[in-house]
Amino acid sequence: MCFMCEQFGTPEHGDGIWYLNPRNYARNMYKLRAPGEGFKGAEVGLETGARAGPSQQDLMNAVENNDKAEFERIREILQRTGQGSMVVPRDDADKVLELCSPIALMSCICRKGIRAIDERNEREYTCMGMGVGMLKWERWPERYKGGVKFVNADEAIEWNHEMDDRGFVHILMLFGAPFIGGFCQCDYPDCGSLRNGVDFGLGVLKSHYLAQIEYDKCNGCGICAQRCQWGALKFETTTGKANIDQFKCFGCGLCHTACPREAISLVRRDTVPAVAEVWL
C-alpha cells in the first residue's frame, strides 16, 4: 500500500485504500467568524490542510537552476504534506463519486492557462469540484468564471464515463492530505499535474493498479497506444503486439477500458513485487 494508505486508510473501507475511506471527504474547511472579521485565508498547519512551506513554483525554480538537491528536498515536502494528486482508474473513480458530496462540474484551469480554452457551460466542463469547498465556490470569481453545475452521484458517474471514453485520465486532487477537493480529467500536455508526473516524477502518485497484456488476445490494433498518456505502452516489432512498461505505467486504465478484445486487465500493484512500492 502507498504511504497515503498507511496514514489515512482503514481496513474496513476498500481494503485499506485511502480514498475509499469516507472520512477523507469530511474536511471542515470553514469556521465561524465574528461580524466584520472577514476571510483571512487558511490557517498554518497540516491539521487544517494549509499549504505551508515550499510551493510548486519553488520546485520549478530548482529545475531552472539545475539544483538537484533542492529539487529533491522540495519534492519530498510537497508529497508529505499532501500537495499532490493520485491517478484513479474508472471503476474506483465511480466508487469515489458515491462517497463524496456535493459534486459540481466546472471548467479546467489548466486548459485555460495552457490552451486558452475557456469552458463556459456544462457541455464544455472537464473538471470536477468535490466536497464542502463547492458550497462557497462564488468567492473565487476568476477560478469559476464559467460557473458550476451541481450534479448527483449518478450524473457524476455518467459524466465520468464520458470523460473516460474521450481518453482523459482521472486524477484525484488533494487539498491538504488526506482531504480531497477535486477530480480532474487530465491529458498530456494540458494538465499541470500530469505533466509534473511525466516530466519530473512529482505531484501525482501512480494508482493502486497496473495494466497487463494477455498476448493471446491482443491483435495489435493500436487503440491502447493512442490512449496512454505516460509513455508506458509501445508495440513490439517482433510480434506486432502491445507491450507495457510497468515501471512507467500509472494504472489509469484507459488502455483497459478501450481495448475491444479485452486483452488488457488491471491488477493490484502490490501483487507485482518489482513495482509494489513504485508510486512516483
- Is the same domain home to 168 and 213? no
- Shortest CA distance to 77 belongs to which of 57, 60, 55? 55
Residue 244 lies in a domain: yes
pLDDT at position 38: 54
Residue 46 lies in a domain: no
pLDDT at position 56: 66
Q: Of the candidates 154, 173, 199, which is a domain's last residue?
A: 199
- Is the same domain home to 191 and 217? no
Residue 185 lies in a domain: yes
Q: Of the candidates 160, 179, 199, which is a domain's last residue?
A: 199
Q: What is the CA radius of gyration of the chain?
A: 19
Classified as helix, coil or strand, 185 is strand
- Is the same domain home to 189 and 215? no
Residue 252 lies in a domain: yes
pLDDT at position 36: 65
pLDDT at position 73: 86
Q: Could you tell me if 216 and 129 are in contact, meaning their C-beta atoms sit under 8 angstroms apart?
A: no
Residue 75 lies in a domain: no
17: Cβ contacts below 8 Å, ≥ 6 apart? 1, 5, 9, 92, 208
pLDDT at position 95: 95
Going from the first residue of the chain to its last (280 residues), give the mean pLDDT of each consecutive group of 10, the final group possibly shorter: 85 89 74 58 40 67 87 76 80 94 91 88 90 80 82 95 96 81 89 82 86 94 93 90 94 96 95 91
Task: Please tell me the total count of domains within the chain.
Answer: 2
pTM, two decimals, is 0.84
Domain range for 243 is: 209-275
CATH number at residue 258: 3.30.70.20
